[in-house]
Amino acid sequence: MSAAATAATTPAIGPFSAKNDEFTPFTTARHWIGGKWCDPATSRAVQDVLNPRYGKPLAQVRMGGADDVDLAAQAAARAARSWGEWPIRERAHVLYRLRELMVRNIDELAWLVSHENGKIFGEAKAEVEKGIECVEYGCSLPNLAAGNQLEVSRGVACEVAYAPLGVVAGVTPFNFPFMVPLWMLPQALVGGNAFILKPSERVPLSTLRLAEMLVEAGLPAGVFNMVQGGRDVVEAICDHPTIKAVGFVGSTKVAKLVYGRASTHGKRALCLGGAKNHLIVVPDADLELTAENVVASFTGCAGQRCMAASVLLAVGKVDHILDAVRARAAKITPGKDLGPVTTQAARDRITGYIDGAEKAGAKIVLDGRKADAVAGGYWVGPTIIDHCTPEMACAREEIFGPVISIVRVPNLDAAIEIENASPYGNASSVYTSSGDIARRVMERVEAGMCGVNIGVPVPREPFGFGGWNDSCFGHGNITGWDGYRFWTRQRKITSKWALQRDQTWMS
């Protein structure tokens, strides 16, 4: 049967109409189960989805619960059987079509991400582009996923085939509403699974359009499902016996909880957590490159990236570079170059860290606390806190805002020691023009994703994305080949077709 013939009925959400930052409402986020939009099985809370630029609801989300997860798991289980029997190449063809739809509608998707999350249009577009890159990786899987085969004994062959797990689920955070689901979906779907997504309740809108595009791309009903909600839905996903694997991306606190709960129920779990990323700047670093890059790293997406720079370890005499960082950051205009943070609570948390650092004796050399670009929005301007000690909260804890804490250290060893004392291990970068210094840092820092003269060292496809230590619970990376391995299981087939005369223990 052709893909189009088995696809779900095209639902009627339709495109998001915004073409600029002007406040634009969007449709209510409902569940997408078995190829249909539906409301929670039992009446539950309806929550506002706020546009953080204005602090105003642009939509609502109907929060689900365990009964909705059960309905989604049943629909997914029904769909998984036949989807898993499609040849991998045909499964990947759905992603080829999805890619075309994403490319064709890239501006619409980017505006939707920008309005639900608050990031500026250029950043939102980059997010959608990275989502497209992840889909392209999924398209390439038929060329990568051939298992090995070997004659292991005379007349006896062993082969490996990648089989789907069946029904799997993903839980995603607010900061990349469109891209993070696409860290998981391509490998899981091409691997032959049916998927249940639980998007962040703060940003459930762009994935509504993703669901529609998957239908248009020819994905059969029930292969992709979405259950809206929060903690109740996540716990039900962890507990549900039909769901065999859980991918999670969010804060360390919740990543740990989800990893523990899903594992207790015998599921595979890969749970990416929070971060506290360090940039090491040494005196021989290129002035322009470093200043531009450091600022882009800590202010991009309003500092709400798990790869954002959070601590600058200033090694020796680097004041000329710090001055250039400050001068550049001071030119950033909130509302134009910098979006708001996600909620009023986030704003309070971030400014609380700045207040705390000031009280503890650090120097606020650029202060974003008074930023107020658009009335009602949750604004924090670029903030630089100098002369921090490693013990200060701003230098130890994840702030998740456009703030960088500078800790001055006498030498490289001291910098590496501070970086490695952090329980997190997502990203770490060094700015230098010395290959030797770069190598020494790259060999010693406790971080899964490292950069040399790159402030946001995101491994592009096909390299896998994933941190170490408290930034990742579970084994491997979430994207790239590790992702495919996570969402599939290996079947080892040993076969013999004739009795062999020269018998071995295997004959």
Question: Which residues make up the interface to ligand NAD (CB under 6 A)?
Answer: 171-176, 198, 200-201, 230-231, 234-235, 249-251, 254, 257-258, 272-275, 306, 398, 400, 426, 467, 471
Residue among 251 and 389 whose Cβ is closer to ligand NAD:
251
Q: For the CB of residue 353, give the shortest distance to ligand NAD in the complex, in Å.
A: 14
Q: H helices within 274-425, ranges in order?
A: 287-299, 319-330, 344-359, 393-396, 412-421
Residue among 171 and 213 whose Cβ is closer to ligand NAD:
171
Query: Considering 306, 388, 394, 472, which one is annotated as catalytic?
Result: 306
Q: For the CB of residue 251, give the shortest distance to ligand NAD in the complex, in Å.
A: 3
φ and ψ of 154, to 5 deg: -55, 120
Q: For the CB of residue 198, give the shortest distance to ligand NAD in the complex, in Å.
A: 6
Closest CA to 280 of 138, 32, 446: 446
Q: What are the strands, taking DSSP E only, across 410-487?
A: 424-425, 427-431, 449-452, 468-469, 472-473
- State in Å, rounded, how far the first CA of the chain is from the last one: 41
Q: For the CB of residue 203, give the shortest distance to ligand NAD in the complex, in Å.
A: 8
Residue 359 identity: K
Within 8 A by CB and 6+ apart from 451, the residues are: 427, 428, 429, 430, 457
Task: Indicate if the alpha-carbon torsion angle 414, 431, 369, 128 is positive or negative.
Answer: negative
Q: For the CB of residue 330, give the shortest distance to ligand NAD in the complex, in Å.
A: 26
Phi-psi region of 166 (alpha: psi -120 to 50; beta: other; left: phi over 0): left
φ and ψ of 240, to 5 deg: -70, 125
Residue among 34 and 229 whose Cβ is closer to ligand NAD:
229
Residue among 231 and 491 whose Cβ is closer to ligand NAD:
231
83 close to 66: Cβ distance less than 8 angstroms: no
Within 8 A by CB and 6+ apart from 87, the residues are: none
From CA 478, how far away is CA 426, in angstroms rounded?
A: 13
Place of tokens 């696809």: 7
Q: For the CB of residue 455, give the shortest distance to ligand NAD in the complex, in Å.
A: 16
Residue among 250 and 339 whose Cβ is closer to ligand NAD:
250
Q: For the CB of residue 478, give the shortest distance to ligand NAD in the complex, in Å.
A: 7
Q: 420 to each of 37, 249, 297, how far by Cα in Å?
A: 47, 22, 20
Residue 306 falls in the annotated catalytic set: yes
From CA 426, how far away is CA 159, in angstroms rounded?
A: 36
Closest CA to 329 of 274, 395, 411, 386: 386
Kindly give the interhelix angle for 121-144 and 106-117, rounded to the nearest 10 degrees.
120
| Residue whose C-beta lies closest to ligand NAD | 250
Catalytic residues: 306
